[in-house]
Amino acid sequence: MLAFTLRRMGQTLVVLLVMSFIIYGLIGLMPGDPIDIMAASMPGVTPEVVAKLRAIYGLDQPLMLRYWRWLMAALQGDLGFSRTHSQPVLEVLMPALWQTCKLMISSFVLSVIAALILGVVSALRPGGFVDSFVSLFAFAGISVPVFWLALVLILTFAVALHWLPASGMTNVGDGGFMDQVRHLTLPVLTLMLANTGQFTRYVRAAMIETLRMDFVRTAWAKGAGAWRVVIVHALRNALIPVVTIMALSFGTLFSGALVTETMFAQQGMGKMIYDSILSNDFNLALSGLLFATLITLLSNLAADLAYGWLDPRIALK
């Protein structure tokens, strides 16, 4: 298990390193460069000065060298300076990361709970009325465009019913815990609804398979109660693949979080990346993308380790 853990962590580091290079290269291909932006705000600047500025900032160096310098600085915790926020990147990044974690973790937990209930109930009678209904709901969840779901929820709960705020993170002059919860409700609901569909399908499939197994039949035959058979015997075993696949999808929540944060004006990582690309804030975009990749990689790592722990045969391979 220890060797397996170490090997998987090593792989994760390698992938992160490769990704950092690819993202660095891609950011370099975005329109304009920092010096162009600087020059645009200085009227009467001559091409010689621009060239000199490029040389001072090292932008005339080859890609590999620039990447190496950036990597060395990043490893020492220096991710550069955000142009639009006029702050070090790390200071912009950390609050955004925290905001995104709140959104992602709460909607993840809620969708897992909802999926467990819906999946188990529909697996009890496959093809029945409840199952058809849950299936339709699950397909709807997979097929809905997240931004449109957010729009519909805004139209319903904010514009028509006035129950909840449509955007922002706090009201001016408030900012207490309940105020934050009210502002997070619709974003969390959006992301949760969008994910519950896929999760429900995983739980349903795993439960149907497990309920057919011999040990479940034995449990029924022994006269164990329905609750005990379904929850203690079947669900516990069905959970092994389900936990893994859900942990694997935690990272994919990030794409949904980007849309949700943009729709509801939440200052999280997703919206930060989106804004930084729109406004050519290269340092911020680069670090934001790297952290987003890191979230995905870490959740994949956690999923693999959990699987190896729940099912020891995996670690031996």
Partner 1 sequence: MTDLATEGALASPARAIEAAQSVWSLRWRRFRHHRAGIASLAILALLVLFCLSAYPLERYLNLDSNATDLLSRYDPPSATHWLGTDEGGRDELLRLMYGGQISLLVGLLATVIGGGIGVSLGLVAGYFGGRLDSFLMRLTDGVIALPLLPLLIVLAALDLTKLGFSSEFAHSGAAGFWRIVVIIALVDWTAIARLVRAATLSVKERDYILAARASGAGALYVMATHVLPNIVTPIIVALTLTVGRVILFESVLSFLGFGIVPPTPSWGNMLNNAQELVTTAPALAIYPGLLIFITVIAVNFLGDGMQHAFDPRSERR
Instruction: Say how far apart CA 156 and CA 153 lie, in whole Å.
Output: 5
Residue 255 or 267 with smaller CB distance to partner 1: 255
Smallest distance, Å, CB 63 to partner 1?
12
Smallest distance, Å, CB 94 to partner 1?
18
Smallest distance, Å, CB 123 to partner 1?
14
Residue 216 or 248 with smaller CB distance to partner 1: 248
Residue 219 or 300 with smaller CB distance to partner 1: 300
Contact partners, residue 183, CB within 8 Å, separation at least 6: 164, 165, 168, 169, 170, 171, 264, 266
Question: For 88, phi and psi rounded to 5 degrees?
Answer: -60, 145
Smallest distance, Å, CB 134 to partner 1?
13
Q: Pairing between strand 87-88 and 81-82?
A: antiparallel
Position 190, amino acid: T
Smallest distance, Å, CB 227 to partner 1?
28
Position 134, amino acid: V
Instruction: Say how far apart CA 96 and CA 90 lie, in whole Å.
Output: 10
Helix, strand or coil, per DSSP, at residue 211: helix
Judge contact between 20 and 290, C-beta under 8 A.
Answer: yes
Residue 15 or 38 with smaller CB distance to partner 1: 15
Q: Estimate to the nearest angstrom the gap between the alpha carbon of 177 and the chain centroid.
A: 24
Q: Which residues of this protein are in contact with partner 1, per CB under 8 A?
A: 15, 18-19, 23, 26-32, 127, 139-140, 142-148, 151-152, 154-155, 159, 166, 251-252, 254-255, 258-259, 262-263, 270, 273-274, 277-278, 285, 288-289, 292-293, 295-297, 300
Residue 229 or 290 with smaller CB distance to partner 1: 290
Instruction: Say how far apart CA 37 and CA 26 lie, in whole Å.
Output: 18
